[in-house]
Amino acid sequence: MDPRLSEEQEILQKSAHDFLAEKCPKSLVRELEKDKKGYSPQLWKEVADLGWIGLAFPEKYGGSGMSFLDLAILLEEMGKACFPGPFFSTVVVGGLPILDAGSEEQKQKYLPQITSGKAIFALALTEASGKYEARSIKTRATADKNGYIINGTKLFIPDAYVADYFLCVARTDDKVKKPEDGISVFIVDAKSPGIKITVLDTIARDKQCEVVFDQVKVPRENILGKLNQRWSEIQKTIERAAIAKCCEMVGGMQAVLDMTVAYVKERVQFDSPIGVFQAVQHHCVNMLVDTEGSRAAAYDAAWRVSTGRPYSDEAAVTKAWVSDAYYRVVTAGTQAHGGVAIIEDHDMPLYYRRAKAAELAFGDARFHRKTVARKMGFKSA
Query: Is residue 197 classed as helix, strand or coil in its secondary structure?
Result: strand
In CATH, what class is 122-230?
mainly beta
Q: Give the integer Cα–Cα distance in Å for 74 and 354.
A: 17
pLDDT, position 270: 83
The SS3 of residue 245 is: helix
pLDDT score recorded for residue 299: 97
- Scanning the chain, the segments in alpha helix (DSSP H) are 7-23, 26-33, 41-49, 68-81, 87, 96-101, 104-115, 231-266, 278-306, 312-337, 348-360, 365-375
* pLDDT value of residue 266: 92
Task: Identify the pLDDT of residue 352.
Answer: 94
Q: CATH number of 7-119: 1.20.120.1760, 1.10.3720.10, 1.10.10.10, 1.10.540.10?
A: 1.10.540.10
* Tens-binned pLDDT, residue by residue, of the chain (381 aa): 777 899 999 999 999 999 999 999 999 999 999 888 889 999 999 999 999 999 999 999 999 999 999 999 999 999 999 999 999 999 999 999 999 999 999 999 999 999 999 999 999 999 999 999 999 999 999 999 889 999 999 999 999 999 999 999 999 998 888 888 999 999 999 999 999 999 998 888 888 999 999 999 999 999 999 999 778 889 999 999 999 999 999 999 999 999 999 999 999 888 889 899 999 999 999 999 999 999 999 999 999 999 999 999 999 999 999 999 999 999 999 999 999 999 988 999 999 999 999 999 999 999 999 999 998 999 876
Q: What is the pLDDT of residue 201?
A: 85
Q: Where along the chain do the CATH 2.40.110.10 domains lie?
A: 122-230
Residues found in the chain: 381
Q: What is the DSSP string of 251-310?
A: HHHHHHHHHHHHHHHH-EETTEEGGGSHHHHHHHHHHHHHHHHHHHHHHHHHHHHHTT--
Q: Rounded CA gap, 217 and 93, in Å?
A: 22
CA–CA gap between residue 139 and residue 150 (Å, rounded): 7
What's residue 176's pLDDT? 87
Q: In terms of DSSP bridges, do strands 121-124 and 165-171 run parallel, antiparallel, or are they unpaired?
A: parallel
Ranges for all domains in the chain classified under CATH 1.20.140.10: 232-375
Q: Which fold has domain 232-375?
A: Butyryl-CoA Dehydrogenase, subunit A; domain 3 (1.20.140)
Provide CATH 1.10.540.10 ranges for the chain. 7-119
* Amino acid 61: pLDDT: 97
Q: Write the CB contacts of 115 (distance below 8 Å, at least 6 apart in sequence).
A: 48, 53, 54, 57, 61, 62, 63, 95
